[in-house]
Amino acid sequence: MSAETHAAGAVLVACPQCHSLVRVPEARAGEHPKCPRCKSQVLTGQPLALDVTAFAAHVERATLPVLVDFWAPWCGPCRMMAPVLDRAAAQRATALRVAKVNTDEQPELAGRFGIRSIPTLILFRAGRELARQSGAVDATGLSRWLDRALT
């Protein structure tokens, strides 16, 4: 988080519908903030599918941490991770965004981040990679990994 954003006690979050950046005061993140442009709820607690354009808004320009799951629909371990990531998205809705990049549909993003195996989880904050985990992980392992990476 930048000094300016932290000093203001707010995070920049991209709207899941229109991808506009919304400044959300940290103290009010749990109050279901809405996008001033399209009126959609900003922190939904659900994983968000990203393409190149949405990736730029949610990962590179926003300051809320984003956990990106690089996956493919034919991958068994990826499908096993889906409920774990759904739960993490709901439990940490005000602390981080969970997003998914289908590597079959977005090969340019997979290539850009050197994805060699799936699933691969990358945790970003303000466009910078904080941590990376390849392979399926259970809910407890994911929670521990996120807690370590975010401190």
Please indicate whether residue 38 is annotated as part of the active site: no
Query: Is the CB of residue 104 less than 8 Å from the CB of residue 73?
Result: yes
> Which SS3 state, helix, strand or coil, does residue 56 take?
helix
Q: How many helices and strands, by DSSP H and E, does the chain display?
A: 5, 7
Q: At residue 137, what is the residue type?
A: V
Q: Given the structure tokens 């590179």, which residue do they identify?
A: 60
Q: Is 15 a catalytic residue?
A: no
Options 18, 35, 38, 78, the catalytic residue: 78
Neighbours of 132 (CB within 10 A): 16
Burial class (CB in 10 A: 0-12, 13-18, 19+), 130: middle
Residues catalogued as catalytic = 75, 78
